[in-house]
Copies of this chain bind each other. A is one copy, B any other.
Amino acid sequence: MTDLFVRVDGRQPDALRPVRLQRRYTRYAEGSVLAAFGDTLVLCNASVEDGVPPFMRGQGRGWVTAEYAMLPRATQQRNAREAARGKQGGRTHEIQRLIGRSLRAIIDFDALGERTIRLDCDVLQADGGTRTAAITGAYVALADAIGGLQASGQIVTNPLRDSVAAVSVGLVAGRCLLDLNYAEDSSAEVDMNLVMTGSGHFIEIQGTAEGRPFDEVELDGLRRLGRAGCAALTRLQLQVLAEPA
C-alpha cells in the first residue's frame, strides 16, 4: 500500500535514494568505487600494501583499515581542510574507525596473509549518509582488490567470509524513514546507522537520540526498516560485482 506521506524528494518512507556503485572509477587503485546515494558521492579506493601494523607483525595474518575525509566544499558551507588545520576532527576519527571495524568483521585475516588493505573513502559531495555510502562502496572496492589478489595468485583462499552494507534510518516528525538525506537528517529526532552482513546479521548498530530519547517500539521500527535497506543494498552489490571487471 502506498504511503500518503511525501518526503522532500518524493520518496516513500521505506525507499532508498537512487544508489549507484561505479567500479573502476579511478585507474590506479586496486579497487576503486564511486558510491552514490542520491546526491551523496563517496570515492572509495582500496590499496593493497605489503606488511601489517607493528602490533600484528610476524603472525602471517592480514589487516584492513580505513581513512575518511570530506573535500572542503563537499558541503553546502565550506569546511576548513583538515590537512591545513593540522589535525583530523573527532567526527572524522569516529567515522573512519566505524568503516574499518565494519570491513574487518567479514574478513578472514589468515586467508589474507600478512598484507594490509587500506580503504580511502573521500566524500566528493555530501547530502547525508556519507558513512553508510562509504561502507557500502568500500566493500565493493575491497572485493575488487581481493579479486585482483586471487587472479594474480597471491592469495588462494578467498578471505571474504560475507559481504557488508550499511544504511541510515531515522525518526523524523515521529515517522520512520530510510536513508535520510541531509535535510531529513538535520531535523531527525533519532538517527541510526545499521551495518549488516549479506547474510542478514548485524555488524554494528548505532542509534542516537538527537532530539528526544526513544523507546523500544521505535527502535524496533527503525531496525526493521534498516534491515530491508541493507538487504536491497546487498543485492545491488552482488549485481555490480557479477559484472566482469
Contact = CB atoms under 8 A, between A and B. Distances in A.
B67 A72 contact: yes
A101 interface: yes
A197 B215 CA distance: 10
A196 B219 CA distance: 13
A204 B209 contact: yes
Nearest to A28: B76
Q: How many copies does the complex hold?
A: 6
B76 A83 contact: no
Contacts of A93: 89-90, 93-94
A43 B215 CA distance: 30
A93 to B, nearest CB: 4
Contact of A219 (B26, B101, B125, B202): B202
A31 B116 CA distance: 38
Interface of A: 26-29, 32, 39, 41, 43, 45, 47, 49, 67, 69, 71-76, 78, 81-84, 86-94, 96-97, 101, 105-106, 118, 120, 122, 124-125, 162, 196-197, 199-209, 212-216, 219, 223
